[in-house]
Amino acid sequence: SIKIGKAFSGS
C-alpha cells in the first residue's frame, strides 16, 4: 500500500 506525507514551508 502507498502512503503519502507532505509539507510546505516558506520564509
Interface residues toward another protein, by CB under 8 A: 1-11
Show the cell assigned to 1.
500500500
CB of 11 to another protein, least distance (A): 5
CB of 4 to another protein, least distance (A): 6
What is the C-alpha to C-alpha distance for residues 1 and 11, in angstroms, rounded to an integer? Answer: 34
CB of 2 to another protein, least distance (A): 5
What is the C-alpha to C-alpha distance for residues 11 and 9, in angstroms, rounded to an integer? Answer: 7
